[in-house]
Amino acid sequence: MTSAGIDQARSLVQGAQGIAVLTGAGISTDSGIPDFRGPKGLWTRDPDAEKYSSIDFYLSDPELRVRAWQFRLSNPVLVAQPNAGHSALVALEHSGKLQRLVTQNIDGLHLAAGTSPELLTEAHGNTREAVCTSCTWRGPMSETLDRVRAGEADPACSECGGILKSATVFFGQSLDPACVQAAFDAAASCDLLVCLGSTLAVYPVAEMVPIALGEGTPVLIVNAERTEFDESALVLRGSLSELLPEIFSGLSES
């Protein structure tokens, strides 16, 4: 990355008053959580892993659920810590310029880094909780994982006996409409949209980009590989944990 690109990105950030940020799996790879579609992505290496988050396969295949619970037990999300990229977004918040942080990630690392829950939209849910697919039961994931460790290969809901899953939005499920609205509202009202570590191929959240562009709002993309919207944005290629501290450095606290 040339210093000219970083300077341009910094001046966009410094000139903005209300910044909306969209983060994808790429912001957490330096915390040891693989993305799905990158060169070392989970699905790139094991195409079957996609089924663990597909609601139809999950509900219809008890063997798949047993494998999914074993996968959750060894999921790097359980031990991952925020990296310098997550921390740089906390610094952006402290400058008073962060209007909303929308994440497609389910790892909870923005909260762990110190992002305020009021400013955060976890559009695809989280792995902190388990939910029942038949009733309204929900509880800490750690307690359900303890049941798996104790020998229940596919633990059932303690209220109704239904199938349990993580509190993440699976393929084939709808996103919470309030989360989608918050993401779209932020894209429509911000004066800079910053997209980090996402292929921008996962909808409806990726719709934030055309919404912002439609308002004439500049878009800054930082990603290791090309994205769907590179032609319409200022693009920086490289590692987020290295670039974000540089881009957001020197912002005064509000």
82 lies in the site for ligand NAD, by CB under 6 A: no
126 lies in the site for ligand NAD, by CB under 6 A: no
41 lies in the site for ligand NAD, by CB under 6 A: yes
Cα–Cα distance between 175 and 186 in angstroms, integer? 17
224 lies in the site for ligand NAD, by CB under 6 A: yes
Nearer to ligand NAD (CB atom), residue 16 or residue 123: 123
Sheet of strand 234-237: strand arrangement? 120-122, 98-103, 19-23, 192-196, 219-223, 234-237
Q: Provide the H-helix boundaries in the chain.
A: 3-15, 42-45, 55-60, 62-73, 84-94, 109-113, 141-149, 177-189, 208-214, 240-247
Strands 138-140 and 125-132: antiparallel
- What 3-state class would DSSP assign to 187? helix
Residue from 13, 30, 102, 121 touching ligand NAD (CB under 6 A): that is: 30
| DSSP H or E segment with residue 222 | strand 219-223
Q: Is 124 a catalytic residue?
A: yes
Count the site residues for ligand NAD by CB under 6 A: 27
Cα–Cα distance between 84 and 240 in angstroms, integer? 8
Residue from 106, 132, 194, 235 touching ligand NAD (CB under 6 A): that is: 106
191 lies in the site for ligand NAD, by CB under 6 A: no
Cβ–Cβ < 8 Å for 227, 200:
yes
102 lies in the site for ligand NAD, by CB under 6 A: no
Catalytic residue, candidates 86, 94, 110, 124: 124
Query: Least CB distance from residue 36 to ligand NAD, whole Å?
Result: 4
122 lies in the site for ligand NAD, by CB under 6 A: no
Query: Least CB distance from residue 169 to ligand NAD, whole Å?
Result: 8
225 lies in the site for ligand NAD, by CB under 6 A: yes
| DSSP H or E segment with residue 117 | none
Residues lying near ligand NAD in the complex (CB under 6 A) are found at 24-26, 28-30, 33, 35-38, 41, 104-107, 124, 197-199, 201-202, 223-225, 239-240
Catalytic residue positions, numbered: 124
